[in-house]
Amino acid sequence: MATPIKLAVIGAGSAQFSLGLVKDICLTPNLAGSEVVFMDIDEERLAMIRRLAERYAGELGADLRISSTTDRRAALQDVDFVINTAAVKSHAHQRAIRDVTAKHGYYYGGVKLGSFYQFDLMLGVARDMEEICPDAWLIQSGNPVFQGCTLMTRETDIKVCGLCHGHYGVYRIAEVLGLEVDKMEDLTWEAPGLNHNIWLTHFIHNAQDVYPLLDAWIEEHGEEYWNSHVAERTHDIQMSRGTIHQYRMFGLMPIGDTPLRGGWWYHTVIAT
C-alpha cells in the first residue's frame, strides 16, 4: 500500500542529484502519489530541473507531482522530509580559497574557510523548519555533513540525518580486485566512523576475508596500477598510493574521502 510523502529539495539545481532522486521515487511503488518540491535560487537551473524531472516521471508513467519555487520558506510548507544539498558558494569560490591557502603554504583540505557559509545556510534551513514543519526530517547531503549535523542537532530541535555516499569506496576496492561486481549481495562489510573518516573493519566476499586478497594485489599489481591508472572520476583515490600507505600505517583501509584526511605530506600542493 502506497504511503505518499511531500519532499522538499533545497539546492535542487544539480541535475545529477535531483534526477537521481526523482528516479528513486518513481521506481518505489510505496511512494506513489508523492510530491517533490524543488527549491533553488537559480531560476534558470531550477526551471531546467523541473522540466527534466516532469519529463522523466511522465515517461515512466509514475504517479508523482513536481513543483518548484525560489522561496525556501514556501518550499517547506507541509513537508514530511527535507533534503538539503545546497552549496552556498560556487566552485570558483572554492578555487579562490585553494589559491589563497596555497599562497601561504597550506593545503586546502586542512583549511575549511568555506564551511562558515555552509553552516549559516544549514542553521537557516533548520530554524525555518522549526517554525514551518517541526515534525519533518531533515536529510543533510551538502557538506560538511558531520559538522553541520552536529551543529543543527545542538542548536535546534529538528530531527537530522546526515547522508554521504563515501562508503561506496568499498565497491571500488572490490572492482579493482576483480571480484564479481554484479553479485554485490555476496559482499559483507562494515566501515564505522565519522563522515569522511571511516575505516573498513569487516570485508567478506562469498564467506572469504578480502583483506588477504587486497594484500596480494598490493604486492603483485600495485605498482603497475599506480603507474598506469588514469582517474575515471572526481576523487578517484580509493586505491591510490596515499590510501595504501594509510592502510599499512593503521592496519585498516580508509574508505571514500578518508584518505584526504591523511598526513600533510600527501598534499603539499593541490596537484598531489
> In this structure, are 179 and 243 located in the same domain?
yes
- 48 assigned to some structural domain: yes
> In this structure, are 143 and 229 located in the same domain?
no
- Among 111, 130, 163, give the residue marking a domain's end: 163
Cis peptide before 29 (omega within 30 of 0): no
> In this structure, are 80 and 92 located in the same domain?
yes
Residues annotated as catalytic are 165, 257
> In this structure, are 26 and 148 located in the same domain?
yes
Q: Choose between 194 and 39: higher pLDDT.
A: 39
pLDDT band at residue 194 using 50, 70 and 90 as cut-offs: confident
pLDDT band at residue 96 using 50, 70 and 90 as cut-offs: confident
> In this structure, are 147 and 243 located in the same domain?
no
> In this structure, are 155 and 38 located in the same domain?
yes
| Residue 107, SS3 per DSSP | coil
> In this structure, are 40 and 103 located in the same domain?
yes
Quote the domain boundaries for residue 151. Answer: 6-163
Tell me which residue has cell 598506469. Answer: 228
> In this structure, are 20 and 127 located in the same domain?
yes
- 248 assigned to some structural domain: yes
- Among 109, 129, 163, give the residue marking a domain's end: 163
> In this structure, are 73 and 91 located in the same domain?
yes
Of 16-20, 188-192, 232-236, 253-257, the least confident: 232-236
Tally of domains in the chain: 2
Does position 265 have pLDDT exceeding 80, yes or no? Answer: no
Contact 30, 2 (CB under 8 A): yes
Cα distance between residue 66 and residue 28, in whole Å:
16
| Share of residues in the chain with pLDDT > 70 (%) | 91
The cell for 192 is 564505522
Kindly report the CATH number assigned to the domain that includes residue 159.
Answer: 3.40.50.720
> In this structure, are 92 and 155 located in the same domain?
yes
Average pLDDT over residues 182-199: 85
Average pLDDT over residues 229-254: 88
- Among 118, 141, 163, give the residue marking a domain's end: 163
> In this structure, are 30 and 53 located in the same domain?
yes
pLDDT band at residue 234 using 50, 70 and 90 as cut-offs: low
Does position 114 have pLDDT exceeding 70, yes or no? Answer: no
Q: Which residues pair with 208 in a beta bridge?
A: 205
- 272 assigned to some structural domain: no
- What integer best gives the mean pLDDT of the chain? 89
Average pLDDT over residues 5-27: 88
Q: Where are the beta strands (DSSP E) in the chain?
A: 6-10, 34-39, 64-69, 81-84, 137-140, 159-162, 187-190, 193-194, 197-200, 202-205, 208-209, 253-255
Average pLDDT over residues 219-241: 87
| Whole-number pLDDT of residue 104 | 79
| Whole-number pLDDT of residue 203 | 96
pLDDT tens-digit series, residues 141-181: 988 899 999 999 999 999 999 988 888 899 999 999 999 86
| Residue 254, SS3 per DSSP | strand
